[in-house]
Amino acid sequence: VCLVFSDGVMPEAVSELTAAGVGELEIPAEADSLGQARLRYGLEGAATQALVLVRPDGYVMGRWHGLDPAPLLAALHQKGLTP
């Protein structure tokens, strides 16, 4: 699943993750006002926008700053994990 740490506005481009079979869970800034979830996943600051890919066993597979899904999808493709 991909945790989408946003500022409350989910970019349309993130829907590419769903199309590639990656589940999304949006965590807007107001849901993490103290930044605790962001810190838990290795992100700095309550306003950080990022994508965090979490494996089924709970380990973080990767982190990408910003909300562009292209690098995340490229990493999955490189590992042979996309259809």
- Residue-by-residue pLDDT tens, the chain, 83 positions: 999 998 877 778 788 999 899 999 999 888 988 889 999 999 987 668 999 999 999 999 999 999 999 999 999 999 998 76
Query: Does 83 reside within a domain?
Result: no
Nearest by Cα to 38 from 76, 5, 2: 5
Give CB contacts under 8 A, 24+ apart, made by 34-40.
37/3, 37/5, 38/5
Evaluate whether residue 6 is within a structural domain.
Answer: yes
- Give residue 25's domain range: 2-78
Is 58 contained in some domain?
yes
Residue 11 lies in a domain: yes
How many distinct structural domains can be found in the chain? 1
pTM value?
0.88
Within-domain flag for 21: yes
Q: How many CB atoms lie within 10 A of CB 25?
A: 11
pLDDT computed for residue 74 by the predictor: 95
Beta strand residue intervals within 1-83, DSSP E:
2-6, 24-28, 50-54, 60-65
CATH code, domain with 34: 3.40.30
